[in-house]
A and B are shown apart, each in its own frame.
Chain A
Amino acid sequence: MNKELKASAPTDSEIVLGILNNSEIVLKRLYTTYFPMILQLIINNNGNEDDAKDIYQEAIIVLYNKIKSGEFELSSKLKTYIYSVCRRLWLKRLSQMNRYGGDIRDFEDHLPVDEELDTHNDRDIQFTKMESALQLLGEPCKTIMEDFYIHNRSMQDICERFGYTNADNAKTQKYKCLQRLKKLFFQQK
Chain B
Amino acid sequence: MSDNLILELIEQYLNGDMMPEERVQFELLRKKDASVDSKVVEHKLFIGLMKQYGERIELEKRLNAIHDEIDVHTLKEELMIHPNWIVSMWRHHHSKISVAASIAIFAILSTLFFTGKLNNHDSSLVQLRDEVSRIKTKTDNLDKKTNSFINQAHVKPKITNPGSFRGTGFALSSNGYIATNYHVINNADSIYVQNANGESFHAKVVYTEPQYDLAILQINDASFKDLGNVPYNFKRSFSDLGEGVYTFGYPGGEEVYGPGSLTASTGYSGDTTEYQVSIPVNPGNSGGPLIDDKGNIIGVISAKQTQVAGAAFAKKSAYLLKTIQNIPSDSLSKSLTLSTKNTLAGLSRPQQLKKLKNYVFMVKVY
Contact = CB atoms under 8 A, between A and B. Distances in A.
Interface in B19-64: 46-47, 49-54, 56-57, 59-60, 62-64
Contacts of B7: 175, 178
Contacts of B57: 150
B279 to A, nearest CB: 107
A175 B59 CA distance: 28
Contacts of A149: 47, 50-51, 54
Contact of B49 (A40, A49, A130): A130
Given A39-B76, A43-B76, A151-B54, A31 B81 contact: no
A57 B60 contact: yes
A130 B80 contact: no
A44 B54 CA distance: 34
B71 A2 contact: yes
B157 to A, nearest CB: 82
Interface in A135-183: 145-146, 149-151, 171-172, 175, 178-179, 182
B76 A123 contact: no
B338 to A, nearest CB: 112
B226 interface: no
Interface residues of A, number: 39
Contacts of A32: 66, 69-70
Nearest to B4: A175
B72 interface: yes
B67 interface: yes
Nearest to B81: A44
Contact of B60 (A49, A61, A171): A61
A134 B78 CA distance: 42
A112 interface: no
Interface string A53-65: 1000100110010
A72 interface: no
Contacts of B60: 57, 61
B330 interface: no
Main secondary structure of the interface of B (DSSP, over half): helix
B227 to A, nearest CB: 104
B63 A57 contact: yes
Chain B interface category by residue count: 20 to 34
A46 interface: no
A31 B79 contact: no
A40 B79 contact: yes
Nearest to B74: A2
A28 interface: yes
Given A1-B71, A31-B66, A35-B70, A61 B76 contact: no
Interface string B1-13: 0011001100000
A145 B57 CA distance: 14
A48 to B, nearest CB: 9
Contacts of B54: 146, 149-151
A57 B67 contact: yes
B75 interface: yes
A61 B66 CA distance: 14
A53 B81 CA distance: 18
Contacts of A31: 63, 66-67
Contact of A39 (B8, B51, B64, B72): B72
Contacts of B4: 171-172, 175
A105 B69 CA distance: 28
Given A43-B80, A150-B51, A150-B53, A185 B70 contact: no
27 contacts: A2-B70, A27-B63, A27-B66, A28-B66, A28-B69, A31-B66, A31-B67, A35-B67, A36-B75, A36-B78, A39-B72, A39-B76, A43-B80, A53-B72, A61-B56, A61-B63, A64-B59, A105-B81, A127-B56, A149-B47, A149-B50, A149-B51, A150-B50, A175-B3, A175-B7, A182-B46, A185-B49
Given A40-B79, A149-B54, 11 more contacts: A2-B75, A31-B67, A32-B70, A35-B70, A43-B79, A49-B76, A61-B63, A126-B52, A126-B53, A145-B50, A185-B49
Q: Ordered nearest first, which 8 A-B pairs have the shortest CB separation?
A: A150-B54, A40-B79, A130-B53, A31-B66, A149-B50, A57-B63, A28-B66, A175-B4
Interface of A: 1-2, 24, 27-28, 31-32, 35-36, 39-40, 43-44, 49, 52-53, 57, 60-61, 64, 105, 123, 126-127, 130-131, 134, 145-146, 149-151, 171-172, 175, 178-179, 182, 185
